Amino acid sequence: MNETTVSFRPNAYRSCLCNGVNENLTGQNVRVAGWVENIRDHGGVQFLDLRDQYGVVQVVVHDDSLLHPVTRECVVSVFGQVILRDEDTINPKISTGTVEVAAQSITVLGKCVESLPFEPAVSTETREDVRLRYRFLDLRNEKMRDRMILRSKVISYLRHKMEDLGFMEMQTPILSTSSPEGARDYLIPSRKHHGKFYALPQAPQIFKQLLMVSGFDRYFQIAPCFRDEDARADRSPGEFYQLDFEMAFATQEDVFAVAEDVLSSTFQKFSSLPVTPAPFPRITYRDAMLTYGTDKPDLRNPLKIIDLSDMFVDSAFKPFCNKTVRAINAPGCGRQSKKFYENMGKFATSIGMMGLGYLNVKEDGSYKGPIDKFLSDEQREELRRRANLKPDDVIFFIADEPRIAPRLAGLVRTELGEKLGLIDKDRFAFCFIVDFPMYEIDEETGKLVFTHNPFSMPQGGLQALESEDPESILAYQYDIVVNGVELSSGAVRNHDREIMVKAFSLAGYTEDDLKEKFGALYNAFGYGAPPHAGMAPGVDRMVMLLAGEENIREVIAFPLNSNAQDLLLGAPTAVTEQQLREAHIRIR
């Protein structure tokens, strides 16, 4: 049960909360109110478990007539005397377990006239679609209630922490304009301006930069963000919340210092698990993709990836010949059963690999596996040195095209870590991923595009944009990752109009495009803009991790389902012809 303290004023419904009934009230009359969780008949004596947000208290009823028309999950107010329980009926699992209320009257405040679709006490074992359709019942579940309370406390703590660090909470508009920020916008038709649309903000990106230009030094908000993108276990479709903050006259390290302070203290306060001490490790994007096969590495997994591409140039082993070859040494894996390797092979094919090659290291240091015959003695020794191979180790190989091999290697690394039980689930491992490339080539169009946030400052500034290969230019962009989950993105922002024009021109935007799409920033940067930087840790993901959940919908009160539907209210819904006409919309 939660230990929330509330300012309480007795009234006609209750004189104390359910968890406030204790031995100090023995012999006194009290009035308690809540939901009837259980009704138990013990041969002429009835027992009710009465529940409110704060706890459960047992009510004993000697007069059956008081129970008409009481049903499970109806809302009642009970008046009666607090008495001590018999010693053999004491319940140490609840704070009120030594007492009970002997009912003198019971008033039904809210009838439960429908058949329950599930038992709220065990709702988390029910199908998710049913839970979401009856979310108001699901939230009566103790685990669900505690997750919502945790979320509330985390947000409250974040607010106070940011204020203590000198940040000022400010709100930015919800009705805004569409901008190319990476995901699809939610568009809102304008009734007053025919043929024009608002967009819900994917993030307060432009507004927070404008606040810096306005002269505010440290801004934050618990910002709602809206993106029309598909769901994942750690991503809710439609909307999410982030701790959005921005700082004027700030460097990348200044932002990191704030993030380390806020996140370390938050995770330490709301979890008993160890947290990476500050400063968090800084890992470049390039190193992350090579060593971990992802820009969201789970550092609890000790396995690392090495590059062996140079060993297989013009190799006689065709699957590896002139490919990007990555390898993972799994220490002691040679003791695994044949079934283990069969399952790893099945996993490899499930992620698009032709198979998973590997070599076992025997007691005498020689190798066992079909790849061995394609290696020279020098290559065998080089392999041993690079991978630090020892007897009973197994080295797994991943070979593919340069853009594919790192991702596949990362997936194999994660699967090996899970199957071998190497991932320490009892800690929070934080890191920063830094030095993201500013640009990349779009695979579909072949054109140069921004890799991430287009408003980031390129490392090297204007000189780099004018003189370097665009694909080699790095940005002052960074992510915070914890346990393989991307918790936040951020950047040192571009605050110079000339650099902004050049940066966007490389991605195919003209200066007129900038004026049209980002006119407010373009204009503001002509009136003196300070250097500024920030980031935005995801609140939903933060709470998900602290609650030990793998599905983000478990920590959101009223989430959309994985198909972006609100099963409780029925959204999205059809609207009337009159509403469509007012918004100047015709459905094709």
- SS3 of 235, please? strand
Q: Which long-range contacts (CB under 8 A, 24 or more apart) does 131-137 make?
A: 132/553, 132/559, 132/561, 132/567, 132/568, 133/567, 133/568, 134/568, 135/557, 135/558, 135/568, 136/568, 137/73
Tell me the residue type at 377.
Answer: D
The answer for residues whose C-beta is within 8 angstroms of residue 158's C-beta and 6 or more apart is: 222, 243, 262, 266, 539
Q: Which residue has the higher pLDDT, 178 or 206?
A: 206
Residues 34/75, Cβ–Cβ less than 8 Å = yes
Report the pLDDT value the prediction gives residue 182, as an integer from 0 to 100: 67
Residue 527 has pLDDT above 50, yes or no: yes
User: Percent of the chain scored above 70 by pLDDT?
Assistant: 99
Report the pLDDT value the prediction gives residue 35, as an integer from 0 to 100: 98
Q: Do strands 532-535 and 238-248 pair parallel, antiparallel, or not at all (unpaired)? A: antiparallel
Per-residue pLDDT tens digits for 279-299: 999 999 999 999 999 999 999
Per-residue pLDDT tens digits for 350-390: 999 999 999 999 999 999 998 999 999 999 999 999 999 99
What backbone phi and psi angles, to 5 degrees, belong to 571? -80, 145
Residue 236 has pLDDT above 90, yes or no: no
All domains in the chain, ordered by first residue: 18-110 (2.40.50.140), 301-423 (3.30.1360.30)
Q: Which residue has the higher pLDDT, 44 or 162?
A: 162
Local confidence band at 180 (pLDDT 50, 70, 90 cut-offs)? low
Arithmetic mean of pLDDT, 166-189:
89
Look at the block and give the residue holding tokens 């276990």: 233
Report the pLDDT value the prediction gives residue 1, as an integer from 0 to 100: 41
